Amino acid sequence: MSAEKPGKAKEMFRRFAVDGEADGCKLYGNGHINETFLITADNGKKYILQKINGYVFRNVDGVMKNIYAVTSHIAGRLQPHQQALSLVKTRGGKIYETDEDGCAWRMYDFVSGGVCLERTENAGDFMSAGTAFGQFQKLLSDFPAETLAESIPRFHDTPMRYQQLREAIEKDAFGRVSGAAAEIEGYLSREDGAGELIQQRRDGVLPVRVTHNDTKLNNVMLDKITREPLCVLDLDTVMPGLVADDFGDAIRYGASTAAEDEQDLSKVHFSLEFFEAFAKGFMSECADSLTQAEIKSLVSGARLMTLECGARFLADYLAGDVYFKVDYPEHNLVRCRTQLKLVMEMEDNRDKMQEIVEKYRK
C-alpha cells in the first residue's frame, strides 16, 4: 500500500466536523492494513485519521456502520474511569468520508495517555489486556449481534481454513509440499474436531456475540503509568462471532514465550502463567454475562484459534505467500511451526487450562 502524502490527509481532515486547521500531520503506528495519521489541530487537540483499505474491507459501509453502532453502545455504558473509541463525524453528518478516488476515510478522537505493546512483557500487562477484552464483551453482552455485518465473511471458520489447506496441498503450485511433509502431517492429523465450535454455534449451544476478532495485545491501549486498560482499538473486524474466538486468539498471540515467527522452536512455549493472567482479567469482567457452555468453550477456543492460524500460515506458504507478508521464502513455514508447537503444548496442558478458567468463574 503506497503511503498517502500528509497534504492529502490534511485535505481530508477539513471534511470532518472539527474546529481549527491541521497544524501537524504524520504517519502513526505500525499497522499493515489501513493508513493511519496523527493529526494535531492548531488548537492543540489531536485526532486519528485513517484511510481504510478497501481491498481488505470490501464492504466499507458495513464495517463503518458496525463500528458506529458498537462504539455508541459502549459509550452509553462506560464508567467514569473507562474510555472508548469515538468517531468524529463529517461536516455533512456522515460517519466516514469518500475522496475523489473512491477511497474511504474516517476519524477518531485521539485517546491520550496510553501505550500499545507489541509483545507480552509481563503477566500483569497481559492480565490488563484480558480485563480490557472482558470489559468489551461485558459492555456488549446485550447488543443484538445479528444486526452487524460480517466484515470478512467466514473469518473464523476453521473447517473452511482446512479446506483451503487441502487445496493448496493438492495444487502444490510452488513445489513446496515435499519439504513441508512433517508440518502437513501435524496439521492434517488434527483436522477431526476442527469444526467443534462452529457446530456448537449452528446447534445453538453457543450464542452468537459481538466479537472483536483481532484480540492481539497491541489492540489494547494501556495507561502509560498504571498499565490499567484504557480502551480496545481496531474495530474493523467487529462482527457476529463466538466469545471463544476472541479469548482464543488473544491466548494464541499473547501466551507464547516467543515471537510468532521465532525460528528456534526451543524458545517457543505455551505459558500457563500468561494464560492464567489473561483468564483472570477476562473472567473478572465478563464471567457473569457468559453461559456455562461459553465458559467451557474458552480452552477449546485457544487451541482451535492457534490451529486455525497455523493452518492458514501453512496454506499460504504452499500457495506462494499470497496473503501474509513475508521477509524470506520460509517465513510462513516458520510461523506455522510455532503455532503447531503451541497447539501441542496446549493439548498437554488442557486439563490445567480448564482448571484455571473454572477457578476464576464467579
Q: Where are the domains of the chain?
A: 6-112, 124-359
Torsion angle of the four alpha carbons 184, 336, 275, 362, in this order, in degrees rounded to the nearest 10: -60
The pLDDT tens digits for 286-340 are 999 999 999 999 999 999 999 999 999 999 999 999 988 899 999 999 999 999 9
The three-class DSSP label of residue 256 is strand
Grid coordinates given for 132: 480490557
Owner of C-alpha cell 507489541? 118
Which of these, 139, 132, 152, lies nearest to 281 by C-alpha position? 132
Grid coordinates given for 28: 502513526
CA distance 203 to 205: 6
Residue 4 has pLDDT above 70, yes or no: no
Total length of the chain? 362
Bridge-based pairing of strands 35-41 and 104-109 is unpaired
Query: Domain 124-359, what fold?
Result: Aminoglycoside 3'-phosphotransferase; Chain: A, domain 2 (3.90.1200)
- Longest CA–CA separation in the chain, Å: 61
- Res. 2 pLDDT band, cuts 50 70 90: very low
**74, amino acid identity:** I
The pLDDT tens digits for 207-263 are 999 999 999 999 999 999 999 999 999 999 999 999 999 999 999 999 999 999 999
348: burial class by Cβ within 10 Å (0-12, 13-18, 19+)?
Answer: exposed
Query: DSSP letters of 296-315?
Result: HHHHHHHHHHHHHHHHHHHH
CATH (one of 3.30.200.20, 3.20.20.100, 3.30.70.260, 3.40.50.2000) for 6-112: 3.30.200.20
The pLDDT tens digits for 58-94 are 899 999 999 999 999 999 888 766 778 899 999 999 9
Query: DSSP letters of 35-59?
Result: EEEEEEETTS-EEEEEE--TTT-S-
Contact (CB, 8 A) for 220 and 82: no
